[in-house]
A and B are shown apart, each in its own frame.
Chain A
Amino acid sequence: MNPHIAKLMQNGTPTAAAVDGFIRDHEFPLVEPGNVTFVFRGAADEVILRRWISGFNTALPMQLLEGTDLWALTMDLPTGSRFEYKFEVVRGADRELLLDALNDVVAHDPFGANSVCQGFGYKRPAWTLPDPDARPGSLVQLPVESAAFAERRDVDLYLPARFKRSRSYPLLVVHDGSDYLRYADLKAVLDNLIHYLEIPAMIVALIQSPDRLVEYTGDPRHARFVAEDLLPALAARFPLAGEPNARGLLGASLGGVAALHTASLYPDRFGQLLLQSGSFAFSDLGHHQKGPAFDPVVRFVNGYRKNPFPLAQKIYLSCGIYESLIYENRSIVPLLQSQGMQVLFEEARDAHNWENWRDRLRGALTWLFPGPLWMVYE
């Protein structure tokens, strides 16, 4: 039992005032080296911890502390871990998914919000928070006429602080770009890393698909849009560095598939790939079990596994240990390395979520696009 709870319960059933004091005096969940204890307070027939992680039992029943309205659960958690969760509260026939009211740390994603468990040793990196000393870049919108999709697509662009047309800039194309801005604090990250000289000032194109389940699953129209519509439109309007190693693609989950697929169709265009928790589904034997939406992904990945070839100069991959895609990501790393590309693979004690992807951005971007920090002494 967690020592704080053990102390609360040491003299038998605590009074309501003692429970109030316990809640007031602690931060939740209760984090100890090697474990974490979740606490829910309220009347219920059953309370279940729902963890948004994969590879483990995601639903764990919590125990009612005798004589109280406190529910608790202690679970092992390795140092540095982080994951997102909710409480499923059962009252009669009703089941409700609730944020942890005792925990202020919340993460957002396109589906809503989750409570965040920051295990022992995890600390949000300072470079993900806006730094008042960092000059902010600006966001502008560029309409791009797309021959591939036969329509106009509006693309948000990040221009670095002190942008000058007389200079040339590396380019990073970000899949699910608006989500990266909203949920992974990409703008603050770029502002900070550029200010710290850890990456060069760069232009970042933030693309957002209206139908990512189709366009990001190995759709050649998407690759054509990025390479033949977007890239020339940007080059015509902005001073981009010409070499492929100054151009990169970033994507998470299916966005990672879209980035890899685009690079596979245009291997001479993008020298740097940043792939986070890529959904690189494949089948070794028989049909895959991921559903029909993944058919084109599996076709593409199976094809690449059969006939691999160099498709970039450097590839950074990351994946959470607490997500099922760790298997696919660990599988693709040696394949990419075998093609002579420089590959850096990082595993995180985290799951399939935006803050995992946010926390890996510094390691990824500084490896793919090293800034002038080494040479600059202001």
Chain B
Amino acid sequence: MTPRILLGPQSPVANLRQAVEALGPDGPVVVISAGWRDSEGELDELREELGRPLEDLMLYRRAERIFAGEPDLLGLHRERQDKLQELQALYRVRLGPTITAARKLMRVNAQQDLLRLEQRAAIAQLRALDRHHLRRIQAIHRDFDARRAELRIPAATAEREAVQHQLAQAGLVLIAGGHVAVLLNRMRLFRLSELLAQKPLIAWSAGAMALCERIVLFHHHAPQGRRDAELLDAGLGIVRQKVLLPHAKTRLDWSNRKRMGLFSRRFAPAACCTLDNGSLLHLEGDRLVATAKSFAITRSGGKRVVKPR
């Protein structure tokens, strides 16, 4: 079974070294830090922390270079991003009232036998909306992939082959956090999904989110007040049946159990697992073999310790 270790933010205390030692890499350690965007490849602190050489795949910079030389590809990429943004705005139009209705039903006092069915129906609507949104997103990606395949871009092909070659040699891949959409986008652009699925991986924060089947954006304390969790996209699908929640301590409103319970039930059967500083989920295939400081949100909005199975 290919091992994968998922971590929380590496600040203030890093547990990456412990994870790397647990896997004992056989071969070069390769890093994907595209989520850092302009700071991609600034690995000095990481090298010092791990005490070993690291190579960055430089997906962000490579993509910028390709886009700069290939206006057709850039145009196609921009068109997709514009569509995704517009679709996300349209999704929000329906998400707002749907989630408000579900939340109201979680709070209302009524006969339990009547209420329970209404609550289930409201959650089912929410889940149906999320499923619909995901299908629409995937259709946009398929359209992009088909149209991109028609473009003959030797420079892009050469960069992609170079990345895939470098990745194929790796004994361990580290995927850093950062901007989750940028990170996912770049890994998708270089078609790394299949190769990554065969490699031992350690990913933290946004890096871990990107490996899941679904990427859920969340922040209950956003500066403009209450904001509901949104489905952003499908992830690479390497980690299954989990919605990962970095910075859960500060981003989630744990004092509001009804809200947290709704969060958990909306994304079930996937487990909503927190990834805070010090958290660790060690998977062999789909099986959790070691854990630390990670909690799953329960149906009632509480938390339970995630344990190895």
Residues of chain A at the chain B interface (Cβ within 8 Å): 162, 164, 166-167, 198, 362-363, 366-367, 370, 372-378
A residues in contact with B182, CB < 8 Å: 375
Q: Are B179 and A372 in contact (CB under 8 A)?
A: yes
Q: Are B222 and A373 in contact (CB under 8 A)?
A: yes
**Candidates A166, A373, A378; contact of B219 at CB < 8 Å:** A373
Q: How large is the interface on B (under 10, 10 to 19, 20 to 34, 35 or more residues)?
A: 20 to 34
Q: Is residue B38 contacting chain A, with contact meaning CB distance below 8 A? A: yes
Q: Are A363 and B223 in contact (CB under 8 A)?
A: yes
Q: How far is the CA of A67 from the CA of B217 in the complex (A)?
A: 65
**Candidates B178, B223, B224, B227; contact of A377 at CB < 8 Å:** B178
Contact with A along B191-212 (1 / 0, CB 8 A): 0000000000000011001000
Main secondary structure of the interface of B (DSSP, over half): mixed
Contact with A along B155-180 (1 / 0, CB 8 A): 00000000000000000000001111
How far in angstroms is the closest Cβ of chain B from A197?
9
Q: Are A162 and B177 in contact (CB under 8 A)?
A: no
How far in angstroms is the closest Cβ of chain A from B147?
25
Q: Are A374 and B179 in contact (CB under 8 A)?
A: no
The 8 nearest A-B residue pairs measured at CB: A366-B223, A377-B206, A377-B246, A377-B205, A378-B177, A198-B223, A376-B179, A377-B177
Q: Is residue B247 contacting chain A, with contact meaning CB distance below 8 A? A: yes
Q: How far is the CA of A27 from the CA of B246 in the complex (A)?
A: 42
How far in angstroms is the closest Cβ of chain A from B79?
17
- Contacts A162-B38, A164-B38: A376 and B224 contacting too (C-beta < 8 A)? no
Q: Is residue B256 contacting chain A, with contact meaning CB distance below 8 A? A: no
Q: Is residue B9 contacting chain A, with contact meaning CB distance below 8 A? A: yes
Q: Are A375 and B180 in contact (CB under 8 A)?
A: yes
Q: How far is the CA of A362 from the CA of B177 in the complex (A)?
A: 25
**Candidates A363, A370, A374, A378; contact of B217 at CB < 8 Å:** A374
- Contacts A162-B38, A164-B38: A376 and B222 contacting too (C-beta < 8 A)? no
Residue ID in chain B nearest A198 by CB atoms: B223
Q: Are B177 and A375 in contact (CB under 8 A)?
A: no
Residue ID in chain B nearest A127 by CB atoms: B223
Q: Is residue B112 contacting chain A, with contact meaning CB distance below 8 A? A: no
Q: Is residue B111 contacting chain A, with contact meaning CB distance below 8 A? A: no
**Candidates A167, A198, A362, A377; contact of B180 at CB < 8 Å:** A377
How far in angstroms is the closest Cβ of chain A from B7?
12
Q: Are A376 and B206 in contact (CB under 8 A)?
A: yes
Q: Is residue B255 contacting chain A, with contact meaning CB distance below 8 A? A: no
Residue ID in chain A nearest B39 by CB atoms: A162
A residues in contact with B180, CB < 8 Å: 375-377
B residues in contact with A166, CB < 8 Å: 38
Residue ID in chain B nearest A199 by CB atoms: B223
Q: Are B222 and A378 in contact (CB under 8 A)?
A: no
- Contacts A162-B38, A164-B38: A378 and B178 contacting too (C-beta < 8 A)? yes
B residues in contact with A377, CB < 8 Å: 9, 177-178, 180, 205-206, 209, 246-247
Q: Are A366 and B224 in contact (CB under 8 A)?
A: yes
Q: How far is the CA of A162 from the CA of B178 in the complex (A)?
A: 16
Q: Are B224 and A375 in contact (CB under 8 A)?
A: no
Residue ID in chain B nearest A370 by CB atoms: B224
Q: How far is the CA of A377 from the CA of B9 in the complex (A)?
A: 8
Q: Are B38 and A375 in contact (CB under 8 A)?
A: no
Q: Are B219 and A374 in contact (CB under 8 A)?
A: yes
A residues in contact with B46, CB < 8 Å: none
Q: Is residue B181 contacting chain A, with contact meaning CB distance below 8 A? A: yes
- Contacts A376-B206, A377-B205: A362 and B179 contacting too (C-beta < 8 A)? no
B residues in contact with A162, CB < 8 Å: 38-39
How far in angstroms is the closest Cβ of chain A from B298?
22
Q: Is residue B109 contacting chain A, with contact meaning CB distance below 8 A? A: no
